Amino acid sequence: MGADDRFVMSSAVRAAYRSGEEDETMEPLVLYGSDDRPLGRISPGDGVIFYNIRGEREIELTRSLTEEGFQPFAVQEPLQLSFATMIEYDRGLNVRVAFPSEGAIGDTLSEVISRHGLGQVKITEAEKAVHVGYFLNGKRNGPFPGEERIIVPTRKDVAFFDEAPEMSIEAIREAVVAQIHDSSRRFIFVNFPNVDVVGHIENEGAIIRAVEAVDREAGLVIEEALRENLSVIVTADHGTVERWLYPDGAVDTGHTDSPVPFVLVCPEAEGVTLHGSGELTDVAPTVLALLGLPKPDSMTGRSLIEGAWKVEARKDRRVLLLILDGWGERESDRGNLIAQARTPTMDKLKGTWPHTRLAAAGEAVGLPPSTVGNSEAGHLHIGAGRRIYADRVRIDRAIADGSFFTNEAFLGVMEAVKRDRRSLHLLGIVSFFSSHGSLDHLFALMETARRAGVGEVFIHAMLGRRGELPESGARYIESVEKRSEDIRLGRVVSVIGRYWSMDREENWDRIEKTYRMLVYGEGTPVAERRKSHGSQHR
C-alpha cells in the first residue's frame, strides 16, 4: 500500500498547498466514498466532542450545532447531538463540559479598584474585547461596579487585517483621549491590538505599518495623559513579531516566549528605579501602588517600583495602563520586525523613563515550561497579579494521571453513541503549539474511544499556521492518520482552515461554511482509497 493510499487527507492538503492554499485559510476538504457521497457527516443523534481549549473562538460553531432555534444562518434541525466540549466555552451552551471552569478569580486589579469606589474604563476594539473584559477580570464576563467598557467596532470592509494594518486604532485613540479628559476615570486600561493581530499574517510590510501605527498612536495618547497629569504604564501581554523568523529562515507567524517591555511614565516618581526584571503578575501590584491602594494578600506579584518609595497619597491620582498587544523584546535584529520599524515613541520613552522587562510566557503565565505566551494568559495574569494555571496544564495532568480516560463528559457522549448505534465526531485544531488545543488531547480522546469500545470515529480537523512552520498542517494530519492506523480506530474525513471555523466577530458566513462542510459534506471532494476503521460509512 503506497503512502498516498494510507494518508489520503494529508495528501489532499499537500495538493492544496501546490494550488496556492495555506493552512489558516484552507478551503474545506471532504472525504468521499466509492459511492460518490461524503463520508462521516455529522447526522442527527450523533455524538460530538469539540476538544479545543481557550473557548472564545469556539462559541459560534458550537451554537450552530447545538442551539435550538439558531438564527444567524439556516441549519438542519433538529440534530439532537450528544455534545461535549473540552472546557466551558459559554455557560449558555447546551453541552456537557469535560473540564468545567474552576470559577472566577477574585481580588483582581479591576475588582480591587471597584471595591475602593474608583471609576475605571477599558478601551479596545472588538478583536480584543474578550481579553480586556473576561480575561482581565479573572474570567468574569460582566463589569464591576464603576467599570465601563468601550469597544470600538472592528472594520468589516477588509477580508484580512493586512489590507488595513492600522485597523481601528485612530478610533481607539480618540476614545482614550476623551476618557483622559474625564476626571472621574481614575484607571484607564487600553489595548492596541494591531501588532498581535496583523503579526499572524505573512505580510512583512503590513506588520511594519502596524508596529509604526501603534507607536505613533501610543505617543499621542501618552502626550495627552501627561498634560492631564496621569501616570502611564506601557507594557504588553506577549511577544509576536520581534521573532518573525525560524532559524532556517522560514516565517514564524505565531506568538513567542520573549519578554515584554515595561515603562513607567510618572513625573511624580522622578528618580525612582524599577526592579531589573519581573513578570506580568507584577503589573497589577504596580498599578495599585500608583493609585495608593493596598494589594490584597492573594496577589503574589510585587510592585516593580524598587525601594521604599511610596506615591504621595492623593485622592485624585489617575493611572493609564497601555497594552501594546504582541509587542515583545529581543536583542537580535534578525527577523525582528519591531526593531526594523520606526518607533520614535518607544525609543524616547526608554531613553527618558524607568523601564524593565517582564516574563510573559511559560510558567510565568501559568503555561507549561518553554511554551509561548498568548493574549488570554497575558491579560489574565496582568489582571490577577498571581499565577493562574491554564486549562492545558489541567488537561495534561489528567492525561498523565489517567483520569482523562474516565472523564464523565467524554464517556457520556461515547455511551450514547454506542447505545444508539451512532457515530462519534472529534472536532478541533490539529497542532502541537496552538493555544486553542493540542494533538495530544485529540490522541487521548481517540484512546478513550478505543477503550470505551466506540465503533466509528470521524475526525474533523482545523488547520491554523500561527506559530507553525509552513505547510505544517499536512504533517499534523498525517500524524493523525498514522495514529488511526496504529489503534485501528478513527478517520480524518474533513479538513478546513481555522479562519472559517474559529471566529468571535459574528462573521457568520465563515461559520456557515464550516457547518455545511460538517453536516452536508460541502467542500472539495477527496476520493477515498481504502475502507475506514469503522464498521460503516455515513
Could you write out the DSSP letters of every residue in 402-413? TGGGG-HHHHHH
Q: At 195, which helix (H) or strand (E)?
A: helix 194-199
Contact 466, 253 (CB under 8 A): yes
Mean pLDDT over each residue of the chain, to the nearest integer: 92
Q: Considering the entire predicted model, what is its pTM?
A: 0.74
Q: What is the pLDDT of residues 396-448, one digit of tens each?
A: 999 999 999 999 999 999 999 999 999 999 999 998 766 677 899 999 999 99
User: Looking at residues 61-65, what average pLDDT do you find?
Assistant: 97
Side by side, which strands form the sheet with 185-192?
A: 147-152, 119-125, 185-192, 319-324, 231-235, 260-265, 355-359, 278-279
Model pLDDT, residue 338: 97
Same domain, 454 and 497: yes
Contact in structure between 128 and 115 (CB atoms under 8 Å): no
CATH of the domain at 87: 3.40.1450
Is residue 421 domain-shared with residue 511, that is, in the same domain?
Answer: yes
Residue that has been written with the C-alpha cell 495623559 in this structure: 225
Q: How far apart are CA 330 and CA 372, in angstroms?
A: 14
Range of the domain at 403: 3-100+393-527
Same domain, 492 and 408: yes
User: Which of 387, 416, 449 is the C-terminal boundary of a domain?
Assistant: 387
On whether residue 356 sits in a domain, the answer given is: no
Residues listed for the chain: 538
d(CA 49, CA 33): 24
Minimal CA–CA distance to 187: which of 273, 100, 115?
115
**281 and 413: one domain?**
no
Q: Is the predicted pLDDT of residue 205 greater than 60, yes or no?
A: yes
Distance CA 176, CA 334 (A): 34
Q: Same structural domain for residues 247 and 268?
A: yes
> Is 355 domain-assigned?
no
292 within a domain of the structure (yes/no): yes
Q: Are residue 188 and residue 81 in the same domain, yes or no?
A: no
Share of the chain above pLDDT 90, in %: 80
Q: Is residue 311 part of a domain?
A: yes
The CB-side HSE value for 184 (13 A sphere, CA atoms) comes to 7
Distance CA 334, CA 514 (A): 38
Residues 381 and 433 in one domain: no
Q: In the prediction, which pLDDT does 77 show? A: 81
What confidence tens digit (pLDDT) does each residue in 84-100 have? 999 999 888 999 999 99
In a domain, 342, yes or no: no
Same domain membership, residue 436 and residue 324 = no
In a domain, residue 354? The reply is no
Residue 284 in domain: yes
The region, left, alpha or beta by phi > 0 then psi within -120 to 50, assigned to residue 472 is: alpha
Q: What is the mean pLDDT of residues 99-126?
A: 94
Q: CA-CA distance, 190 to 150, in Å (whole number)?
A: 10
Whether residues 444 and 514 share a domain: the answer is yes
Q: Are residues 159 and 43 in the same domain?
A: no
Domain count, the chain: 2
Pair (424, 324) in one structural domain: no
pLDDT band at 532 (very low <50, low <70, confident <90, very high): very low
Q: CB–CB of 194/214 below 8 Å?
A: yes
- Asked whether residue 420 falls in the same domain as residue 281, the answer is no
Q: Which CATH number is 377's domain given?
A: 3.40.720.10
CA dihedral 498, 430, 328, 389 (to 10 degrees): 110
Final residue of a domain: which of 323, 354, 387?
A: 387
The answer to whether residue 212 sits within a structural domain is yes
